[in-house]
């Protein structure tokens, strides 16, 4: 094991002398990654207590999930809300990113700051504030209400991702396009948008997930026939450990991974030399 004796860094410390450090790093890494992943095999356990490794495999928790009208209802609501949030937040955030980036006015910085406040303000405050407003507007327990609040939470994420994409995009291409006869909107659509599509797709996926994973606002403003999946899960968690949730969690992990993989492939920028 000559490797152990070799210097690890510029300080000439050997790998052997800091094996403990590697051990710590591996443990922390395991702490970060494993708990989420371990839910997946557990969800196929036949036991009420979700052993690991499961003594007996079964799909009973998936069956119980699929057979429950309440869970199905909540899943449908969550998917609808997330999809609509994506449709609202992505164009709004992208347009705002482009407008604020291109206008270069002093008020633009202020507007940008205002647009990112939803990720700074504690969510509970947004939750009860929106709830209070919705009571007056009769939007409590409606899909429109959820989508409105979730879009507001997702806009800053789209804004930040698309702005950083625009910052690294060569804007002289848009100028060339305009000199060649394209109006500004056309130049954006034909030249800039195709090249930042990777970021726009990523931001769309994250907008979807922002809504799909959101708990607190949904707790206050969704309910009845329009309960979201997260709201139902949260309430179930507070009462008891229902193994059905392991199955739902596995499905949610699957949905998330699929979406992120999709974002990677849809807009993957072409390989540069």
> Considering beta carbons, is residue 81 or 216 the nearer one to another protein?
216
> Considering beta carbons, is residue 38 or 76 the nearer one to another protein?
38
Structure tokens at 2: 């000559």
How far apart are CB 69 and another protein at their closest, in Å?
21
How far apart are CB 76 and another protein at their closest, in Å?
17
Question: How far is residue 147's CA from residue 134's CA, in Å, rounded to a whole number?
Answer: 12
Question: How far is residue 196's CA from residue 168's CA, in Å, rounded to a whole number?
Answer: 10
How far apart are CB 98 and another protein at their closest, in Å?
6
97: nearest Cα among 167, 152, 153? 167
Structure tokens at 10: 């510029």
> Considering beta carbons, is residue 23 or 72 the nearer one to another protein?
23
Q: Is residue 27 within 8 Å of residue 21, measured between CB atoms?
A: no
How far apart are CB 50 and another protein at their closest, in Å?
5
- Range 139-152 burial, b when 16+ CB lie within 10 A, else e: bbebbebbbbbbbb
Q: What's the length of the chain?
A: 273
How far apart are CB 2 and another protein at their closest, in Å?
19
> Considering beta carbons, is residue 72 or 170 the nearer one to another protein?
170
């Amino acid at each position: 094991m000559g490797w152990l004796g070799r210097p690890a860094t510029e300080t000439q410390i050997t790998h052997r002398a800091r094996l403990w450090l590697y051990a710590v790093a591996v443990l922390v890494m395991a702490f970060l990654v494993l708990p989420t992943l371990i839910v997946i095999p557990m969800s196929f356990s036949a036991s009420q207590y979700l052993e690991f490794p499961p003594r007996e495999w079964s799909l009973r928790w998936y069956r119980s999930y699929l057979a429950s009208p309440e869970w199905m209802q909540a899943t449908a609501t969550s998917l609808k809300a997330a999809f609509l949030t994506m449709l609202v937040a992505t164009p709004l955030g992208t347009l705002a990113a482009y407008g604020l980036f291109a206008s270069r006015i002093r008020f633009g910085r202020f507007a940008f700051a205002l647009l990112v406040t939803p990720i700074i303000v504690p969510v509970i405050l947004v939750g009860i504030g929106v709830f209070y407003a919705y009571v007056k507007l009769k939007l409590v327990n409606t899909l429109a209400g959820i989508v409105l609040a979730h879009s507001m939470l997702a806009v800053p994420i789209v804004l930040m991702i698309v702005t950083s994409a625009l910052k690294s995009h060569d804007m002289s291409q848009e100028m060339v396009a305009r000199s060649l006869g394209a109006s500004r909107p056309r130049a954006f659509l034909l030249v800039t948008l195709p090249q930042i599509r990777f970021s726009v797709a990523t931001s769309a996926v994250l907008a979807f997930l922002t809504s799909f994973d959101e708990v607190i606002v949904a707790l206050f403003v969704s309910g009845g026939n329009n309960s979201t999946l997260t709201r139902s899960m949260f309430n179930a968690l507070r009462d008891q450990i229902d193994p059905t949730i392991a199955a739902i969690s596995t499905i949610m992990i699957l949905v998330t991974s699929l979406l992120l993989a999709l974002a990677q492939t849809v807009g993957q920028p072409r390989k540069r030399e």
